[in-house]
Each structure stands twice: as structure tokens, then as C-alpha cells.
Amino acid sequence: MPESQGTKLHPRPVPAGAAGASAAAEANSPAVEFRDIDIAYGKFVAVRDFSLSIRKGSFVTLLGPSGCGKTTILRSIAGLVDISGGQIMIDGRRVDDVPIYKRNIGLVFQSYALFPHKNVFDNVAFGLKYRNVPKPEIARKVGKALEMVRLPGSEKKLPSQLSGGQQQRIALARAIVFEPQVLLLDEPLSALDANMREEMRVEIKKIQKETGITAIFVTHDQEEALSMSDRIVVMNAGAVEQIGTPEEVYETPATAFVADFLGKANMLAGTVSRSGQAVVLATGQTINVACPRPLGDGSKVTVVVRPQKFSVGAGTSVNRLTGRVVSASYLGGSAIYEIDIGGKTSLRANAPINGRVLREGETADLGFDPEGCVLLDEDGQRIS
Amino acid sequence: MRGTRRKQEGRWAWRLTGFVTVCVYIFMFAPIVATVILSFNASMFGGFPMTGFSLQWYGKLMANEAVLAAFRTSLWIALVTAIVTTAIGVTTAFALVRFDFRGKQALSTLVILPALVPETILGVGLLVLIKAVDQPRTMLLLVLGHILLAVPYVVLIAQARMIGIRRVYEEAALSLGASRFSSFREITLPLLIPAVVGGALLAFTISFDNTSASLFWRPAGVETMPTQILSMLKISISPEINALGTVMILVTVGIPLIGGLILQSLTKLRRRGEPKEETQ
């Protein structure tokens, strides 16, 4: 492929007068950069036009339902999946043609993938061995990595003698011990039970901070994504829906998909009135909204309200809706209500308990402020 | 009442099943047992009743140069067949399970084919082919023939094991910096070992046992153990053949058995060894 050879010689436009600036460029270049990636299996396009730049030392999560292409992207960084178009750069170096074993990435699998016939030491030492690290140095580094995952002294054990959580810790140690440029985590918590999952969440995040390694994490679990990430890339059907900090994607979802996938927001259809200061809902009520720009009266919008934005009972909120409680679940500090506001529409509210928990069939007063709403246009895109 | 009757019926069914099973086993093993027992018979004539215990037929066997030569020949052929077949079979199974390529279906059918075609037909076929290209029958042809016969079984064994080895192990090894060859050598092959040993033992016995195809393929003047027995039978049914049969049984049953036991104790030792080392 002569064409790709040509681009390899000049990986990126070098600024004028920047002689010997490649080292400096490398220091500033993103840890991983995707440029218009397409990935297709035959006629099925798994990922299209994916672009993303990941800063060094950051923790980025690819979040989406199964089949959205998030794992495919992760595997493309590792070199386990061939891309059909675009470029992938690791530390400013184009890696499209670099075989997996020369990419210097750490990979953690959902199923741990510890070598069953090798003990913990040999598993963790595997990557170092292939980097020609001298033996005493290997022993020291393996010991340090095992301490980091809080399993010191487990060198002689076989994977089959460890619990699921311990195996995943060893897998993590194996992936970081040779100080790879990027750490890729493919749903590493999905195979663990609920308690262990929460513990490992904290642990992975802590280790990532301590080592300063760039981490790319794939999950379909929004809680994991929100609690661990510096940035979240929400994906659907092979394309990016939104990129932002956890607060950004949660508080200001860019699309209807993001609003629904993250936290099951309430979506109320309506039409604009009073030049975008109010919305007449399909159910008949009128609510005040804070629209960032003037909108034509009569245009169709969707009002997105998070369940947590509602207060239930008497309150001082600007918008008030009345409905009948369909179901109530008591969570201790708060309660989740499903409230029928008429017009075959029910809302989910997660509100602190005000006095007592309402029972099914009772009338509930819902209150929320215009600032707690996000407006989406007819195409499901956020109006900003 | 009804309950006890049903119980009784069940008991009878079990007794019948047991009886039939015992009959089948007797039918299968009686000839083998008879051969082994009669090989120790003192009488000149191979048959019951026994006239006394003797090892003379084994002594005669050891002095029979033709038999010893045939034994050596068979042993060599079986060894070479086992080694070559295992190498071919394991790599073929690896390719068939791990890679997608054109003609994969055709290849997997072709590889199994020699096991489906009757041996005699395969024997004649290869012979006709050799005659057609005007080549003499050599030891090489005989070994190649045996490899042809044994490859399907080794491929099937290795394939079954290979499917059980998840691809993530290899992916993990690659991501850690091992080349494709290294990851095969360090990860896939050790996990395949039971299939490798099992396949080799099976290939050995298939070759060591083979009669009908060997009759067609052996070069002039060369005898393998089974063909040697056949030609001895043409002359007389001497007790020496019983002794030879016993040796054959020992080799073809004993070698896989010993191999299996060694493999089992090896894996057990390793598993037991681990926690012990930890306490030191």
C-alpha cells in the first residue's frame, strides 16, 4: 500500500520552523486519537465516522447498549479488530498497520482471561518477559503490581484457586505491570457479583489515578460510567451521541437517546408558547421553561425532566403538576413514584420523603423548576 | 399393591439389563482372555483343555528372528506415524478452529475422509496410484499410508479440545507482547497437551494395529506385526501365535493406558505442588 506508506512518513503536519519538535509534539499529543474511524464486518457497519481524542492520564468511558460498537472500538485500539477507514494514533504514532503485540497496550477482559496453566507470578510477569526485562527487575515489578492490587504473596497460586474478584485484580496487575501507554478495560466488572463490583470500581479508579495511566473503559452500566469517568462517550448504533463529563451528559443530555439511556429521564411532548418561555404539554398542562434561545410559537419540543428534579408534596417550585400515584417504592432516604398526570402519561419521580410516603391511588403534587428541564427539538437534539 | 408390582417389574428390568451387559462383555473379552491364557499352555496344540503352564512359546518367540524384525518394524512405523500425525493433526485443528479461509469446509471434510472410506479400498487406492506413477512400494509409502489413516482421529481429538480453549487467552498473550508463534507455543499448545498426548497414543495404536491396508502397502519382504501374524497363521495355528497376540495386546492396550496414567499423575502433581510451595 504505497499510499499509506506516504502518509506514514509525514504523520501529521509539522508546524513551520519546528525542527526537532517531534518530541515536544509527542508530549502534547493525545494518548489516543481516532480520526473518522469506520469499522465494517462485510456489509454490516459496526462503527461509522468515529472521532475522539483522549488526553493523557484521563479516564474515558465508552457507554452504550450492547451492539452499539463500543467494544469494537476498544478492540480496534488493541489491534484485535481491523478498521476499514480512518486512522488510530497512540501517542501521536499511527498504529493501523502495527500488529497487536507491538502496540504496548494493557488489556483487561470481562472474563479475566488469566492463563489457567500459569501461576499468578507467571501471569503477571508475561508482558515483562516479552519486553526483555531482566529477571530480578521482573520479580520486583510483579511484587509491586501485586501489592497495588492488594494481593501480595499470591505469586504461587493458580488462577483456579482465586475468586472472581481476585482473578480480575490479577488481570489488572498483568495489564499495568509493564506500564503500557493505554489501559483498555472491556466490561471488567460485568462478571462480578454486585458487592465486588462496587469495590472494584473504586479500586480500578484509585489505581488509575496512582499510576496516571490513560484508561479507556467500556461498559453498558451507567452507574459505573458516571462514578468512574473523567469523560463519557455515549454511543448508539455505531455512532457517538454525546461526549462530555459525567455531569454534562447527565444534566444536559444532547439527544433523546442520552436522556433515556442515562437515568431514564421523563420525556414530555409539547408545543412552544410565549416565544419559548412556556410549553403546552400534550396532556394539557402549561409549564414554564428556560429556553436558551427564542423559539417560534407552535413548534414541537420535548421537555426532559430527571426523576430527581421533582419534589413531591407542597413546595415552592414554579411548575406544578397534579396526578395520581400509580406505584410507590420506598428506598429509605427517598421514594420512587410513578405518577399518572392524565393523557396516558405517567412520570417517574425520585424525591426525598416529605412527611410520609404516598400510597397508590393518592393524589400527588409534583413540583419542578424551569432550570431543571432540558428542551429537545423535533429531531431529538438538545436546543441550545 | 400396584406400587410393589411396579417395583418388582423395575427390578426384573434391571436384572435383564445386567444379564445382557455381562453377556456382551463375555462375548467381547472371552477371545482375548482365551488367547492370553492359551499362550501359557504347555501343549503343542492351541486349544483347551490346558495341559500345563509354560513360557516356552514366549521363549520361542524371542528366538524367532522374523517376529523380532516385524516387531521392530511396527514399532518404528508407529513411532514415526505418531509424531508426524500429531504435528499435522494439531496444526490442522488449530487452523480449522481459529482461522477463516476459503475452502475451510472442504478441507475439514477432506481431512476426515480417510476415516470414512473402508480401509481396504483406501489400501487398494493408494496402491493403484503408486502403480500409476510407476513408483516402487517403499517404507516411506507404508508410513505415509499410516499417517493418512491416523490423521482424521488426531484432528478430531485436537479440534474438540481446541474449541474448548477460549480465544481470549491468545488475545491476552498477544496484547502482552507475545508474537503469534510465541502465544501458540506458550499458551495454546500447553492447553492442548491432553489432546496432543491422546492423539499421539491413538495414532501409535492405529498404526501398530493396522493389518488390511499394510498388506497392500508394505514393500516386498517387509512384515509388520499384524502381517507377520497373518502369514504365520497360513502355515499353522501354533501356540506361538497366542503368545504373539498377547504381546500385541500388551502394547496396544498398555501404551495408551500408561500414557494416560502418566499424564494424569503429572497434572495432579502440579496441582498438589502449588499450595505446598506456598507454605514453605
Residues of A in contact with B191 (CB under 8 A): 116-117
Question: Could you report the per-residue pLDDT of A300-358, keeping only the tens digit for each?
Answer: 889 999 998 888 887 778 888 888 999 998 888 888 999 998 878 889 998 888 778 88
How many Å apart are CA A59 and CA A216, to the nearest integer? Answer: 6
- Between A2 and A131, whose confidence is greater? A131
Handedness of CA B88, B93, B94, B96 (dihedral sign): positive
Residues of A near B (CB-CB distance < 8 A)? 78-80, 99-107, 109, 111, 113-117, 119, 126-127, 130-131, 156-158, 161, 174-175, 178
Across B127-144, average pLDDT: 86
* Torsion angle (degrees, nearest 10) of CA B84, B87, B91, B94: 130
Report the percent of chain A where pLDDT is more than 90: 46
- Condensed to tens digits (0 to 9), the pLDDT of residues B65-80 reads 888 888 899 999 999 9
The ipTM estimated for the assembled molecules is 0.80
Average pLDDT over residues B172-186: 93
Any A CB within 8 A of B237 CB: no
Q: How high is the pLDDT of residue B11?
A: 86
Identify the CA nearest to B200 among candidates B157, B159, B145, B165: B157
HSE, side-chain direction, 13 A CA sphere, residue A372: 18
Chain B: give the shortest CA distance to residue A112, in Å: 9
Length of chain A: 384
Closest-CA residue in chain A for B175?
A: A101
Q: Is pLDDT of B149 > 80?
A: yes
In our burial notation (b when 16+ CB lie closer than 10 A, e otherwise), range B215-229 reads bbbbeeebbbbbbbb
Q: Which three cell numbers stand for residue A57?
A: 492520564
* A221-230 confidence digits (pLDDT tens): 999 999 999 9
